[in-house]
Amino acid sequence: MKILVCISNVPDTTTKIRLAEGNASIDTTGIQWVINPWDELSLTRALELRDDPASGVKTVTVAHVGPASSEPTIRKALAIGADDAIRVNAESPDAWYVATQLAEVLKKEQFDIIMCGIESSDYNGSVVGGMVAELAGIPSVSAVSSLSIEGGIPLITREIDGGKEILTVGAPLLAVVQKGIAKEPRIAAMRGIMMARTKPIKVYEPVPAEPLTEIVALEKPAPRSACKMVDASEPAKLIDLLRDEAKVI
Amino acid sequence: MARQIIFAAALLITFGVFLYTVNRLVKYFSFTRAAFPVRDFWKRTGVMLKVAFGQTKIFRKPVLGFIHAMVFWGFCVILLGSVEMVIDGLAGIEKSLSFLGPLHDFIMASGDIFAVIIAIAVLVFLARRLFFSISRFEGAEMKKKSHLDANISLTLIFLLMVSLISMNLGYLGYMQFSGGSAEGLYPFSALLLKTFGETSGGSFHIIYEASWWVHILTIFFFANYLPYSKHFHVFMSVPNVFLSRLDPPGKLDNMESITREVKIMMDPETAFTAAPADAAPERFGVKDAEDSTWKNYFDSLSCTECGRCTSVCPANITGKLLSPRKIMMDLRARMKEKGPLMVKNGRDFSDGRSLLRDFITEEELWACTTCNACVQECPVNINHPSLILDMRRYLVLEEASAPGELKAVFNNIENNGAPWQYSAEDRLNWAKDIEVPVMADLHARDGKPEYLFWVGCAGAFDDRYRKVAGAFAKILNHLKISYAVLGKEETCTGDPARRAGNEMLFQMQALQVISTLKGYGVTKIITTCPHCFNTLKNEYPDLGGNFEVISYVSLLKEFIASGKLKISASVMEGKKVTYHDPCYLGRANGIYNEPRVVISKMGADLEEMERNRSFALCCGAGGAQMFKEAEKGEKEIFIERTEDALKTGAEIIATACPFCMTMLTDGLKYKNREEEIKNYDIAELVAMGMGL
């Protein structure tokens, strides 16, 4: 059995986002790029399955749509333990474009389980997974919080309103996973870091595709206003503020 | 002649068996890894004279220390007498060293007196072991054999001393009755002789002969019993002290194999193209006995299981699994188990067991706070944390295994340059209301400050400690010190990563910091955080970062002493203040006096805790413990330490470390005493004293 984990390259979660000129994209200078946290957990679960001989999973491949500058993030995934990687050499203007490229990868190579994070922490679009499955014509399951393989058949638990749903899906399938799929992200061992330097990254050129969306403008949330302290001896002032300024009473 | 032949045969057997043992041990040592090179002969001799022959560390427990010292010194003198006995036995003469005259008299006389002292001391030791319950002698690792071992050795020593006295007595008696003159002086035996009535010279001769043989044969047996018992200590401890690690206890050894990897990674030219290094070690860190260094193994053979290390270990005191003594005993036991197999089948042989997990659990390893109390206490300079850390290194570097919280810390340090998840852009938020010069700005204006103030992640991000960074900056500003901070360019020194076993991440951080510092031509660094201080000062030189690193407490003390910093001696007048020694200022770097001088200059009454200075108990946060849940135990270390502080009745607990501050503040909250007792940093106290 082979698993493909799709990974997205996102700014580290502590990054202070600045908008680039034109306010339609972010200023990438000085940004530390990391594997999208949901994808990192997917990868961790995929590696856990591979490391368990009973699962029947033999290899874990990571796929990424992005330019050569995102290779450090791919190497990180290889250092953590992925066996090999595929990079589609293109910027990723929107989800549709990325999904098209990933679906194309699935045409070229056979995988039994494809894992996508439920969203990426940059644009939080939450659509790539579903699109890829649809384009590739394979079943997809969303909001997967647990994935195991029992007797060669993927067993999935997904969160539903007020409970859990447990289902089996025949391979190939695409699992759109959420946090909980793995306890905590795996870290790279020294051998992994050393081996990652020589593990293969296959580069595919993109197929032509038109993005379906265009970002017209990005806007940062209004800064939180400063906290106002009211002295305990002036309850009337508090009421005034709540009524006149906050307009909540 | 027959007597000489029997003696020579006994001696030969003794040496034969001993050589067999030594040969085995040499083979075991050959399986171990290299440690530091043994240089500084004179410095080592000094340490040996002080710690081994001077018995300085054993005196940390004064009464028992004194008794042990008497036994040790007595053994040294009596050993000279034994040398004479060997010569006598081989040559068939008596008192062969008597040509030394007064010196011989002295050796014999002191040996005679020491024999009594040692016999009494040994009885005290035996009584302690047999009739009292001494907690230090108990513990999971103290099996029946350990106790039996001690009692056998003590009994043998007692027999040695009794036979020595009776030999001297017999010698004096038979000389007196045969009309000969005794060589050497035997004050105690002479006294003893007077209590004997009429005994024939012949009987004394028999007593002498019999005691002589009992004594020398016991020595021969003892010498060969020792290497197989915990009392191998008798042979190994003096050389072990000579071979002590001379680095400051806070310094961890650099892993060269990792440095090579990091340099490949950081060099963009070779980063992804370089082939895996052929010379990579077969294993990073320590998994099994043969991965340890010869010094670790030497340490384990020198350990006599006295338990002084374990009795001061904060983890052990609070009921956690870790016992530093057990770590040493386990290494020795594992080598005893695997050594013969490796001798037979080669070093690569695996018996399916290992030091890690089959002897030492991960839970034990993750409980260490690297406070170095065990190192401080060990009378023979054993270094336990270096082995514990090397085993953590194996877990992280080879197995990518660490407590979950620490994995998050690794990711944070790697991604945002701090153990917590904060953006580097917020690094100057503590200085919003204070004028703090930033290195990059100064540099742009061609300015070069005298000092770099290294704020540290806690100074930048920890709500409470940001106030300390602010207080210290205000002092620097007030004194018009030429300084600057790195601001957004500062990043974690790597200390928590290194102490959590992630040597790779530590070195990446260190090399990055060193390059930033060198880029600005920094020569002098002031730190508030003792962990940053220790890393910058002691560990960066291994990676090419040589700076003069100064702790702020030293600087404050200096400013006060020189009169540059004027402090009102009345602000703290009559206030009871206690000071908690941070491990990384105190034991790790010997800074004990400076903060105390500062406190007393402010007119405060310094009330010491019972455990203070080098005896101070860790707050529980060192060794990356700050960032993880404590291992399972009966009590939290910070509560134990807070109780120490509360016992002094002080209204202010002063400290000089961000982690200690967090721990003690939590302790005060836990005890519901945070309203009446305040926890201040030395810098804050000084700022108050200056009215800032």
Q: CA of B285, closest CA in chain A: separation in Å?
A: 11
Would A242 be classed as within a structural domain? no
Contact call for A14 and B421, based on CB within 8 A: yes
- Closest-approach residue (CA) in chain B for A12: B415
Would A228 be classed as within a structural domain? no
Would B83 be classed as within a structural domain? yes
Angle between helices B2-31 and B62-91 (to 10 degrees): 130
Would B612 be classed as within a structural domain? yes
Contact call for A194 and B276, based on CB within 8 A: yes
Q: CA of A195, closest CA in chain B: separation in Å?
A: 7
Give me the residue from B261, B272, B504 closest to A75, CB to CB: B272
Cβ atoms within 10 Å of A202's Cβ, excluding its own: 14
Q: Are residues B176 and B299 in the same domain?
A: no
Would B550 be classed as within a structural domain? yes
Structure ipTM: 0.90
Give me the residue from B271, B400, B425 closest to A186, CB to CB: B400
Q: Are residues B364 and B420 in the same domain?
A: no
Q: Are residues B477 and B600 in the same domain?
A: no
Burial of A176 (0-12, 13-18, 19+ CB in 10 A): buried
Q: Are residues B236 and B310 in the same domain?
A: no
CA atoms within 13 A on the CB side of B612: 17
- Specify whether the CB–CB gap between B562 and B568 falls below 8 A: no
Q: Which domain holds residue B530?
A: 406-561
Would B264 be classed as within a structural domain? no
Strand B483-484 relative to strand B451-454, pairing = parallel
Would A37 be classed as within a structural domain? yes
Q: Are residues B585 and B551 in the same domain?
A: no
Contacts of B424 in chain A (CB under 8 A): 14
Contact call for B396 and A185, based on CB within 8 A: no
- Closest-approach residue (CA) in chain B for A191: B398
Contact call for A197 and B410, based on CB within 8 A: no
* Residue A232 pLDDT exceeds 90: no
Q: Are residues B541 and B595 in the same domain?
A: no
* Residue A226 pLDDT exceeds 90: no
CATH number at residue B329: 1.10.1060.10
Choose one of B526, B561, B596: the last residue of a domain: B561
Q: Which residues of A have a CB under 8 Å from any CB of B? A: 12-16, 32, 34, 71, 75, 80, 183-195, 197-198
**What residues in chain B have per-residue pLDDT under 50?**
277
- pLDDT in the model for residue B174: 87
Contact call for B504 and A193, based on CB within 8 A: yes
Q: Which domain holds residue A138?
A: 2-222
- pLDDT in the model for residue B567: 86
Q: Are residues B339 and B426 in the same domain?
A: no
Written as one letter, the residue type at A236 is A
Choose one of B344, B369, B401: the last residue of a domain: B401
Would A132 be classed as within a structural domain? yes
**pLDDT digits 0-9 by tens, B182-210:** 888 999 999 998 887 666 667 888 999 99
What mean pLDDT comes out for the span A194-212? 94
Burial of B586 (0-12, 13-18, 19+ CB in 10 A): buried
- Closest-approach residue (CA) in chain B for A81: B400
Contact call for A190 and B264, based on CB within 8 A: no
Would A32 be classed as within a structural domain? yes
Would B247 be classed as within a structural domain? no
Written as one letter, the residue type at A34 is V
Would B249 be classed as within a structural domain? no
**pLDDT digits 0-9 by tens, A12-46:** 999 999 999 988 899 999 899 999 999 999 999 99
Q: Are residues B313 and B421 in the same domain?
A: no
Q: Tell me how far apart the alpha carbons of residues A41 and A185 are, in angstroms, rounded to a whole number.
A: 5
Q: Are residues B678 and B633 in the same domain?
A: yes
Choose one of B561, B594, B617: the last residue of a domain: B561
CATH number at residue A52: 3.40.50.620
Name residue, tokens 């009454």: B605
Cβ atoms within 10 Å of A153's Cβ, excluding its own: 12
Q: Are residues B101 and B143 in the same domain?
A: yes
Report the alpha-carbon angle B524-B525-B527, nearest 5.
155
Query: Is the Cα dihedral B59, B61, B62, B63 positive or negative?
Result: negative
The residue among A9, A10, A14 with the most chain B CBs within 10 A of its CB, best to mutate, is: A14
Q: Tell me how far apart the alpha carbons of residues A179 and B13 are, in angstroms, rounded to a whole number.
A: 70
Would A244 be classed as within a structural domain? no
- Specify whether the CB–CB gap between A105 and A131 falls below 8 A: no
Secondary structure (H, E, C), B388-427: HHHHHHHHHHHHCCCCHHHHHHHHHHHHHCCCCCCCHHHC
Contacts of B280 in chain A (CB under 8 A): 194
- pLDDT in the model for residue B88: 94
Contact call for A185 and B407, based on CB within 8 A: yes
Would A138 be classed as within a structural domain? yes
Give me the residue from A16, A187, A197 closest to B272, CB to CB: A197
Angle between helices A37-51 and A71-80 (to 10 degrees): 30
The count of domains in chain A is: 1
Q: CA of B42, closest CA in chain A: separation in Å?
A: 39
Task: Extract the tokens encoding A123.
Answer: 């644009």
- Mean pLDDT of all residues belonging to chain A: 93
Residues 6+ apart with CB under 8 A from B562: none
Would B42 be classed as within a structural domain? yes
Q: Are residues B367 and B468 in the same domain?
A: no
The count of domains in chain B is: 4
Would A248 be classed as within a structural domain? no
Would B265 be classed as within a structural domain? no
- pLDDT in the model for residue A159: 87
